[in-house]
A and B are shown apart, each in its own frame.
Chain A
């Protein structure tokens, strides 16, 4: 050991201007490869000007589009707020209409609290499930067992949704479920999109299901719901 006199304990690194006496470690190579090493994919370019120029162009295109639309599309303004006059239907902003559509079917505790909380928790924990970092296809190994697990998960969800007659949730769920089953039976080397579906990992299916349900609920809540949250056709009834 050639450490300096100032060194007090084993865990403390020594500082010395004499490089011969005090060996210095510059790089720690741990078992997990660092981001820098792992992510080294191809040529690099200077941020100034390459990235900054592209962002400036993106910003300008966006500003032009924003101004063009804002000149002609006026923000709505209704009558002064009146707590005694409830509009029918009273609607939340569009991004909460999916939730409002859920509230139509499920009790407030389920639709308003439990489901949104679960969604947020699910989003937060996504990266901490280190299973399947390689994005293995759902049917890569143990096909039959995987299918059984999938059906064991799908059937209770479908029954739950059917029990509440939540058919705007049920329809996208069944559609995605059918696609999963289709991808199980799809023969390798088939058409491009069937090959694409066949090689998707579980996480892809879960997220796609979530997005489909969210989009259907939001669109239905925004355009297809009228007085008493009844079904209306947007081209027949004037909403808003």
Chain B
């Protein structure tokens, strides 16, 4: 390692009592301390200490799962910021959109980022699923994690869909009206399910409030739980599926 002043300062920082009290280890220079860096950290302990070199190759994953997860974080951060400017009420919700555009600093950028990340996440979660399928990543012992993945796909769709109503413009209102009308076609429980979801027979302020609570509280919490299980199980099931040709050599 080059010994620039920055490196030296970093080394000194890692030697301090405060640093050690937080991370419970010195610099991660040996395999032991590098292992500690993973399982001594609440957020990293979902990961294994070691992975197969082949599973790091781009073609093994294209980082589709990792990037989906990053998008979830981006969406959480931008979502919380948007919540500071949003009231789930009719017609205040729409006025808040106008405020984001004309009054809030970088409000347009914030909303753009949230919307873009949301659409991208739906796209990448689908891509992740298809890629895992074609690699045979669902095969034993990964069966259950595949099912968790399907749940996460549905959660992603519901998250995106509930968020779609929140701007309360024509686009939002009619997209949700069209979508929830489909539910009425369900035999026996169709009308009741739709009523439960909308808090009424029409898309109105009750629906807006319900979608808001689902979008900002219920579904994100469920998603966090299932994402945790998903990562955890990758490790418990013995790591990602690797194939002989993952290092770029031709199969067989």
The interface of chain A, by Cβ under 8 A from chain B, is: 34-36, 38-39, 41-52, 54-55, 58-59, 62-63, 66-67, 69-71, 73-83, 85-87, 90-96, 99-100, 103, 107-109, 112-113, 120, 123-124, 126-128, 130, 133, 135, 204, 207, 211
Beyond A90-B175, A127-B147, whether A51 also contacts B56 by CB under 8 A is yes
1/0 contact string of B129-154 vs chain A (CB within 8 Å)? 11001101011111110110010011
What's the minimum C-beta distance from A239 to chain B, rounded to whole angstroms?
Answer: 12
Q: Indicate if the CB atoms of B150 and A45 lie closer than 8 Å.
A: no
| Also in contact, A43 and B53, with CB within 8 A (given A81-B169, A135-B136, A207-B133) | yes
Central interface residue in A51, A75, A108, by most chain B CB within 10 Å: A75
**Contact residues in A for B38 (Cβ distance below 8 Å):** 47-48
Q: Which residue of A lies closest to B156 (CB)?
A: A95
**Who on chain B is nearest to A80 by CB?**
B94
Q: List 5 A-B contacts (CB under 8 A).
A: A51-B51, A75-B114, A80-B91, A96-B179, A135-B136
Contact check, A49 vs B28: say whether CB atoms are below 8 A apart: yes
Q: Are A66 and B177 in contact, with the CB atoms below 8 A?
A: no
Q: Is the pair A45, B169 in contact by a Cβ cutoff of 8 Å?
A: no
A40 to chain B, nearest CB (A): 8
Q: Are B147 and A211 in contact (CB under 8 A)?
A: no
Contact A45 B182 (CB under 8 A): no
Asked whether A70 and B139 contact (CB < 8 A) given A79-B169, A81-B173, A93-B160, the answer is: no
**Out of A45, A63, A112, A126, which one reaches B146, CB within 8 Å?**
A126
Q: A48-B34, A67-B113 are in contact. Are A55 and B53 (CB under 8 A)?
A: no
Residues of chain B from 185 to 223 with CB closer than 8 A to chain A in the complex: 185-187, 190, 202-203
**Contact A47:B50 (CB < 8 A) given known A59-B70, A126-B146:** yes
Task: Name which residue of chain A comes closest to B114, CB basis.
Answer: A75
A93 and B161 contact, CB distance less than 8 A: yes
Q: Are A87 and B51 within 8 A (Cβ)? A: no
Q: How far is the CA of A170 from the CA of B104 in the complex (A)?
A: 49
Contact for A62 among B31, B67, B173, CB less than 8 A? B67
Shortest Cβ distance from residue B60 to the other chain A in the assembled complex, whole angstroms: 11
Interchain nearest-CB distance for B76 vs A (Å): 14
Given A39-B238, A81-B90, A127-B143, list of 19 further CB < 8 A pairs? A44-B51, A45-B50, A46-B35, A47-B34, A48-B28, A50-B51, A58-B66, A59-B67, A81-B173, A90-B175, A91-B174, A93-B179, A123-B129, A123-B150, A124-B147, A124-B150, A126-B138, A133-B140, A207-B134
B111 at the A/B interface (Cβ < 8 Å)? yes
User: Does B87 reach chain A (CB closer than 8 Å)?
Assistant: no
Chain B residues lying within 8 Å of A109, measured Cβ to Cβ, are 185-187
3 cross-chain pairs, A with B, having the tightest CB-CB distances, nearest first: A35-B238, A108-B185, A81-B173
Contact of A70 among B37, B109, B136 (CB under 8 A): B109
Chain A residues closer than 8 Å to B120, beta-carbon distance: 66
CA distance in complex: A127, B142 (Å): 8
User: In this assembly, does B227 line the interface, its C-beta being within 8 Å of a C-beta of chain A?
Assistant: no
Contact with A along B153-178 (1 / 0, CB 8 A): 11001001100100111111111011
Q: Is the CB of A66 within 8 A of B116?
A: yes
Is there an interface contact between A90 and B50, defined as CB atoms closer than 8 Å? no
Best-buried of B74, B116, B153, B171 by chain A (most CB within 10 Å): B171
Which residues from chain A contact B14 at a C-beta distance below 8 Å?
Answer: none
CB 8 Å contact bits of B100-125 with A (1 = contact, 0 = none): 01000000110111111101101000
Partner among B50, B97, B140 whose Cβ is within 8 Å of the Cβ of A46? B50
The one of B74, B114, B150, B170 that contacts A81, using a Cβ cutoff of 8 Å: B170
Q: Is the CB of B160 within 8 A of A95?
A: yes
Bound CA–CA A211/B127 (angstroms): 10
